[in-house]
């Protein structure tokens, strides 16, 4: 697969939310298998739909098939934790690449796409949160320029989360 053949675009109303939910389950299974109950390991299509409605959802396509997805929550949308209430802070989540297509650079391409979109929308900090035990993800986000911010607890997970964030001002 050539990365230049991967297209990233906003989700459209013709995209199947059931298929996207299935993609999330298949991708997040590796986290469920190590005991981390991310919502995306088991969420139903209604939750997928509700999360998309609150965000800017992008999908990655290869040969017309959706092989990745990521949601961007612009500043002001997530207000549960102090860091997310700060001006200019956006976050991303519901982030998955089809297991058959992982470790080929698609995830990084999607994050870069999101960072460029976020900069155009007055975002100064792009953040994410993940399980504090997910060492492989934390190492990867650090490699992409994200730094530790805080610990938080969502009610719906069985782990404590860590917020990581990247300052985007230099990207302007
Ligand atoms: C996290 C996730 C979206 C990353 O997607 P991805 O397409 O695999 O990401 P990339 O390919 O850009 O990078 C992943 C790894 O592959 C490596 N890689 C990238 N291109 C590569 C290539 N051509 N050959 C070999 N390895 C490659 C990267 O260096 C990185 O390695 P590292 O983890 O050792 O640093 C994907 O693994 C996933 O869906 N995971 C399950 C759900 C999840 O964890 N979501 C995030 C929750 S916070």
We report the CATH number of the domain holding residue 66 as: 3.40.630.30
Average pLDDT, the chain: 96
Sheet holding 125-131, edge to edge: 6-10, 56-62, 65-73, 89-97, 125-131, 161-167, 147-152
Q: Is the pLDDT of residue 172 over 70?
A: no
Residue 159 has pLDDT above 90, yes or no: no
166 band by pLDDT with thresholds 50, 70 and 90: very high
| Pair of tokens at residue 130 | 């993940």
CB atoms within 10 A of CB 114: 22
Q: Residues enclosing ligand 1, CB less than 6 A?
A: 27-28, 30-31, 95-97, 102-108, 128, 130, 136-137, 140, 143
Taking the CA of residue 30 as reference, the ligand 1 atom at the shortest distance is: 41
Q: How confident is the model over 76-124, as pLDDT tens digits?
A: 998 889 999 999 999 999 999 999 999 999 999 999 999 999 999 999 9
Range of the domain at 95: 3-171
- Give me the percent of the chain exceeding a pLDDT of 90: 92
Which helix (H) or strand (E) is 118 found in, with range? helix 106-120
Report how many domains make up the chain. 1
Distance CA(161)–CA(23), nearest Å, equals 23
156: confidence class by pLDDT, cuts 50, 70, 90: confident
Among protein residues, the one with the nearest Cα to ligand 1's atom 3 is: 96
């Amino acid at each position: 697969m050539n990365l230049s053949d991967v297209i990233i675009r906003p989700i459209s109303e013709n995209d199947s939310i059931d298929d996207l939910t299935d993609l999330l389950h298949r991708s997040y299974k590796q986290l469920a298998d190590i005991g981390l109950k991310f919502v995306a390991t088991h969420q139903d299509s209604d939750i997928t739909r509700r999360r998309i409605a609150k965000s800017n959802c992008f999908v990655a396509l290869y040969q017309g098939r959706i092989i990745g997805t990521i949601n961007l929550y612009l500043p002001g949308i997530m207000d549960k934790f102090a860091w997310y209430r700060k001006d200019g802070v956006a976050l991303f989540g519901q982030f998955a690449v089809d297991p058959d297509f992982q470790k080929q650079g698609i995830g990084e391409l999607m994050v870069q796409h999101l960072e460029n979109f976020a900069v155009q929308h007055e975002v100064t900090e792009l953040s994410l949160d993940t399980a504090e035990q997910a060492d492989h993800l934390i190492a990867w986000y650090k490699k992409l320029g994200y730094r530790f911010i805080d610990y938080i607890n969502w009610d719906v997970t069985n782990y404590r989360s860590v917020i990581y964030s990247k300052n985007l001002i230099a990207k302007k």
